[in-house]
C-alpha cells in the first residue's frame, strides 16, 4: 500500500486574526493515551528544526502536560503563568538548545487548566495562532480524547495528525476522534500516523483497518502520513530524557520520523520568518 499525501490548501490570507486554519500549524492528537503522541511531537519538532525551519512546540495537553519531563527540563515559566495573566505566550516560550526549537511548556497535574471557561480557551488558542506567524511550524501536542480543549486546538490547525497503534482500543478511539472532528469541521485535514509498528508492512495493515472504518462509516479517507516502527531506542531515550535524533540518529524510529518531517515540510515552503 502506498502512502498518501495531499498538499495543504492555504485558506484566506494567512492572518491569525481570521478564524481559519493556518497551514503551518500541526496538531498531534490521539483518541487514546499511551500511543507515543508526546514523544512523536518532540521528535517531529527536532526533525523539522534540523531541516532548517523555525519551530515552536506547544504543550497543549492541558492538565497532563509532560514535554518538559520527557526532556528533563525545568522551565522558569509555563502555561500556568499565561492562564494566570502573569505572562504572554510569547514571553513563556524558551529555547530548547539540544533540539534547536522553542517550547511553551504546560503544567503537569494542573487539572484546573483543563477546565478553562470556553471564552478563555478560545482566547488562548487565538493568541497561540497569532504567535504561529512568527514560526515556520507550530506543533501542538494535544491531549488524548475528544473533549472541548482537543477540539478547540485542532480547529485552527492546517493539519491534524491522529496517532494510533495496532491495539484495538487505540484504533477504535482514533476512529472516534476522526468522527467527531469531521462532524464539526468537514473540511479538516486529518492524517493517520501509525506508531510502534512491528514493521512498515504491519503499520500499513493497521492503517488499512482504520481506513476501512472511516470509509465505510464516515465516507472519509484519511491519508496515511507515516508509519513509525517500534524501536527499543525510543524507550531508552525517554528514560534518559534525551532526544532520539541526537542519541540514536540512525535508528529505525529516527529515520521514520525524519521521513515524516520531510514529507510535511515539502507541503509548505519555509517562509524565512525572523
User: What are the boundaries of each domain within the chain?
Assistant: 22-57+93-102+119-267
Cβ neighbours of residue 243 closer than 8 Å, sequence gap 6 or more = 42, 43, 46, 71, 98, 99, 237
Cα(192)–Cα(247) distance, integer angstroms: 26
Q: Which contiguous run of DSSP H or E holds residue 238?
A: helix 232-240
**Residue 7: predicted pLDDT:** 38
d(CA 160, CA 239): 28
CB neighbour list of residue 123: distance below 8 Å, 6 or more residues apart: none
pLDDT tens digit sequence for 201-256: 999 999 999 999 999 999 999 999 999 999 999 999 999 999 999 999 999 999 99
Which cell numbers hold the place of 35? Answer: 500511543
Q: Cα(first)–Cα(last) distance of the chain, in Å?
A: 40
Q: Which CATH architecture has domain 22-57+93-102+119-267?
A: 3-Layer(aba) Sandwich (3.40)
Spacing of C-alpha 251 from chain mean position: 21
Instruction: Determine the pLDDT at residue 113.
Output: 57
- How do residues 253-270 score in pLDDT, each as one tens digit? 999 999 999 999 988 776
Amino acid at each position: 500500500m502506498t502512502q498518501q499525501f495531499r498538499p495543504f490548501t492555504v485558506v484566506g490570507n494567512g492572518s491569525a486574526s481570521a478564524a481559519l486554519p493556518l497551514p503551518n500549524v500541526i496538531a498531534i492528537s490521539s483518541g487514546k493515551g499511551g500511543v507515543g503522541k508526546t514523544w512523536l511531537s518532540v521528535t517531529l519538532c527536532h526533525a523539522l528544526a534540523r531541516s532548517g525551519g523555525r519551530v515552536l512546540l506547544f504543550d497543549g495537553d492541558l492538565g497532563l502536560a509532560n514535554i518538559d519531563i520527557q526532556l528533563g527540563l525545568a522551565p522558569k515559566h509555563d502555561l500556568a503563568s499565561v492562564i494566570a495573566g502573569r505572562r504572554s505566550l510569547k514571553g513563556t516560550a524558551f529555547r530548547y538548545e539540544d533540539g534547536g526549537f522553542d517550547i511553551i511548556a504546560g503544567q503537569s497535574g494542573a487539572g484546573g487548566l483543563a477546565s478553562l471557561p470556553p471564552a478563555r480557551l478560545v482566547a488562548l488558542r487565538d493568541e497561540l495562532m497569532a504567535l504561529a506567524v512568527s514560526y515556520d511550524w507550530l506543533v501542538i501536542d494535544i491531549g488524548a480524547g475528544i473533549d472541548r480543549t482537543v477540539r478547540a486546538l485542532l480547529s485552527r490547525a492546517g493539519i491534524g495528525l491522529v496517532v494510533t497503534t495496532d491495539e484495538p482500543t487505540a484504533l477504535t478511539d482514533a476512529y472516534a476522534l476522526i468522527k467527531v472532528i469531521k462532524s464539526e469541521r468537514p473540511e479538516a485535514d486529518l492524517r493517520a500516523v501509525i506508531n510502534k509498528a512491528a514493521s512498515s508492512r504491519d503499520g500499513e495493515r493497521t492503517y488499512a483497518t482504520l481506513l476501512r472504518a472511516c470509509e465505510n462509516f464516515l465516507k472519509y479517507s484519511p491519508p496515511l502520513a507515516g508509519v513509525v516502527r517500534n524501536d527499543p531506542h525510543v524507550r531508552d531515550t525517554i528514560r534518559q530524557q534525551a532526544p532520539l535524533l541526537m542519541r540514536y540518529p540512525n535508528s529505525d524510529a529516527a529515520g521514520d520520523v525524519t521521513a515524516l518531517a520531510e514529507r510535511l515540510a515539502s507541503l509548505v515552503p519555509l517562509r524565512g520568518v525572523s
